[in-house]
Chain A
Amino acid sequence: MAEVVFFVASLGAIGGAVGVVALRNPFYSVLALVGHLLSLAALFLLLRAEFVAAAQVVVYAGAVMVLYVFVVAYIGGADRPVRTTGPGLGLAAPLFAGALFVELCLAMLGSGLKAIDAQGAPYEAGFGSPGQIGELFLTRFLLPFEVASYLLLIAAVGAVILARRRRGLEEEGLEDVPTVTVADLFRLEPGVGTQAESGGMLQDRRERDERERKGGW
């Protein structure tokens, strides 16, 4: 049974990888990658990494691929030929990939790891479970865990800064941007510090009151 599942899942993984490279429309490439990730999750399950498989499906095939789909829909999947200029690299790339595969296989066979030809270590209950992963994250791998969370924060802030609109700086010029100096802080009458004031609602109301006091429109 495990052999059949492995065969189907590895076929799906390799087919998905080839589809990512070979399909012309980026949208179809993203869909091929989703299939590849789901097959890979099945392989993780065969390797008794249940938590990694679940995270793969939820985080990768779910969240990250949705991001990809949105960006592909935004940019517009341009149907371009795989390569038009320079036949040299088009021929060299498969050669490079083949040489890399041969080298990787040689490295693995030459590593002298005796357990490569075995099923792996005997299975213990709880191996790869969320409990074991969480315990490892909070004891032995606490520092990588915290660093990873900071990395995610930095990436989120960086993505917002990279992808925001910069219309104010590019089209209108810097001189139109109002500048606030220290002197303004002393000159302005002190406000009440509420959110209504920062949104300009308080000022609107003050102007309306003034208009009404002057006698309507």
Chain B
Amino acid sequence: MDIGWYLAVSALVFCTGAGGVLVRRNPLVILLCLELMLNAANLALVAFARMHGSGDGQIFALIVMVVAACEVTIGLGVIVAIHRRRLPVDVDELRELRG
């Protein structure tokens, strides 16, 4: 398969994730859509690594996975804290940053 097809799939998944971030209101699902975008970037990185025949892109993809894991941990911690304080789990109603 040509590398271009992988890049097309990556672009499609990235756009789906970006649209999901705009459409959905549950912060959990927004985090999932962020995961989609990060994974699309990972696919592009691995495809470029294959294109150039060097392992640097794969290293970058692994680092992106680490950053995504950190982001998920902190994001889920924030969501659990929001739920504990009896606030609505909805990004449209959580528009104030005041405690």
Residues of chain A whose beta carbon lies under 8 Å from any beta carbon of chain B? 2-3, 6, 10, 13-14, 17-18, 20-21, 26, 29-30, 33, 36-37, 40, 43-44, 46-49, 51-52, 55-56, 59-60, 63-64, 67-68, 71-72, 74-75, 78, 80, 82-83, 85, 89-90, 92-94, 96-98, 100-101, 104-105, 108, 113, 115-124, 127-128, 132-133, 136-137, 140-141, 144, 148, 151-152, 154-156, 158-163, 165
Contacts and interface: CB of A to CB of B under 8 A. Distances in A.
B94 interface: no
B96 interface: no
A141 B61 CA distance: 13
Given A21-B24, A80-B25, 16 more contacts: A14-B12, A21-B19, A36-B36, A46-B1, A49-B49, A51-B62, A56-B42, A56-B65, A83-B25, A96-B19, A116-B2, A119-B2, A120-B3, A121-B51, A121-B52, A137-B59
Nearest to A81: B25
B22 A93 contact: yes
Contacts of B69: 59, 63-64, 152, 155
Contacts of B5: 6, 10
Given A33-B35, A78-B89, A97 B11 contact: no
B19 A97 contact: yes
Contacts of A78: 26, 89
A108 B48 CA distance: 12
- Top 10 nearest A-B pairs (CB, nearest first) are A121-B53, A97-B19, A162-B77, A21-B20, A155-B70, A93-B22, A159-B77, A104-B11, A17-B16, A101-B15
Interface of B: 1-9, 11-20, 22-26, 28-29, 31-33, 35-36, 39, 42-43, 46-47, 49-53, 55-56, 58-59, 61-63, 65-74, 76-81, 83-84, 89-90, 92
Contacts of A52: 42, 46, 58, 61-62
A88 to B, nearest CB: 11
Given A51-B58, A90-B23, A121-B51, A148 B74 contact: no
Contacts of A74: 80, 83
B33 A20 contact: yes
B49 A47 contact: yes
Contacts of B55: 127-128, 132-133, 136
Nearest to B12: A14
B58 A128 contact: yes
Contacts of A124: 53
A152 B63 CA distance: 11
